[in-house]
Amino acid sequence: MSLYYVQKLIYELNRNPDTTKRFEKDREALLADYDLTDEELTAIRKPDIGLLYVLGVNGQILMHYAALWKIPWDDYLKSMENGIKEHGPVRNGLYAQTEGK
Amino acid sequence: MTLVFAGACSHAPGITGRADRGDPQQRKNLLENYNKMRLAIKSSGAEALIVIAAEHFANFFMNNMPAYCIGMAEYYEGPIEDEEWLGIKRVKVPGNSKLSEEIIQIVMNDTDVSYAQEWKFDHGISVPLNFLTPDYDIDVIPVNINCQGPPLTPLNRAYEFGKSIRKACDSTTTKIAIVGTGGISHWPCTPDSGKINEDFDKTFLKSFISNDKKALLSYSDKETYEKAGQGGFEIRTWIAVAGACEGSTGELWCYEPIPNYAVGCTLASMEIS
């Protein structure tokens, strides 16, 4: 579990246009710069917003990743609900404290 | 004494990004009160605006997270979010590095505040500015209190931080307005987005406008998280304003719980004495 690096990647994507460009043009090389598990990589590549939420990505970071993929707000909220149904309660981070939600 | 205005307001991105999804009557009241605050800041003669905010991982990350940070740049940029998503055009916002440095130096007597000469505003500052200084014609000094996740600065430290900012304001010759922006109860960007705990909000607001220090500082983070969600941690920004105005009371201008904006949309002011 390398939640820190999943969040770091999304943080960089949100604030650094060069990182966003690399994400579009040379994604695998960019992802190799971060210490990510296979499950995290799958969730990022898909993107599986629900799984990223379950892995513990903070919503304040995750919403930017959804926006990067042009996922509409209602779909973003729904994908987190579906993520919990599919993958179980939130495993790590802030939301894991309260019933994994 | 050069603090000329103090207030607090909401900054939820839905207010601008999902503007048409709020109840029209509630939105009307909200916008009227943002406008009222815009005019109050203007008529106060403020030459600079300190925004005490709670940013959301736009500039500060867990590799080196400051509990407190004050901007010290000549200018800032924002919003960092997609312009269409947030409904606010990206602009350059004027800063005042000299005034920032004066303030930071004084605050440092009490608080180990960090400073930043580069700062990209996110909705936490861009939404309030969009309404309060829509022409971006006043120097802004951004202040951040980490409210996103533990370990979090204790509430009494946030109150003292506000007192330090007040001390700094009163030691300059520049007329300064302070606006805190955050919370109150909300569960942003989670499946619970849209939930609002009106009881929590009203109790907190009652304590805020009476500037009841004991009541304001009585919340544990555990209680806040359970009753007011992650967004509830942002009460620190309001508490800092209360600290800046210790001994004064305030006035609630607007409280409109709007689920589609994911927060109880609030504006309030605090007397300067």
The confidence score (pLDDT) of residue B183 equals 87
In the predicted model, residues of chain B with pLDDT beneath 70 are 1
Residue A27 confidence class, pLDDT cut points 50, 70, 90: very high
pLDDT tens column, A62-78: 999 999 999 999 999 99
Total domains in chain B come to: 1
Q: Which residues of B244-268 are buried (b: 16+ CB within 10 A; e: fewer)?
A: bbeeeebeebbbbbbbbbbbbbbbb
User: Which domain does B182 fall in, by range?
Assistant: 3-270
What is the three-state SS of B56-116? CCCCCCCCCCCCEEEECCCEEEECCCCHHHHCCCCEEEECCHHHHHHHHHHHCCCCCCEEE
Cβ pairs bridging A and B (under 8 Å): 64
Quote the tokens at residue B187: 């569960």
Residue A101 has pLDDT above 80, yes or no: no
Q: Do B226 and A93 touch (CB under 8 A)?
A: no
Compute the nearest-CA separation of B45 from chain A (Å): 34
Task: Give the span between the Cα atoms of B105 and B35, in whole angstroms.
Answer: 33
Tokens 């971060």: give the residue. A34
Query: Which domain CATH number covers B106?
Result: 3.40.830.10
Contact criterion met (CB below 8 Å) for B270 and B249: yes
The interface predicted TM-score (ipTM) is 0.90
Put simply, whether A100 touches B (Cβ < 8 Å) is no
- Supply the pLDDT for residue B1: 62
Q: Are B141 and B99 in contact (CB under 8 A)?
A: yes
Residue A22: per-residue pLDDT:
97
Q: For each of the domains in chain A, give its residue range(s) and CATH number, in order of start.
A: 3-97 (1.10.700.10)
**A97 vs B189: CB contact, 8 Å cut-off?**
no
Query: Between residues 19 and 58 of chain A, which touch chain B (CB distance below 8 Å)?
Result: 53, 58
Query: Residue B21 and residue B272: Cα distance in Å, rounded?
Result: 36
Asked if residues B93 and B49 have their Cβ atoms less than 8 Å apart, the reply is no
User: Quick one: pLDDT at residue B99?
Assistant: 98
**Chain A residue with the nearest C-alpha to that of B223:** A98
On whether any CB of chain A is under 8 Å from the CB of B62, the answer is yes
| Cβ atoms within 10 Å, residue A78 | 15
Looking at residue A77, its pLDDT comes to 94
Over its C-alpha atoms, chain B yields an Rg (Å, rounded) of 17
Report residue B8: phi and psi, to 5°: -150, 150
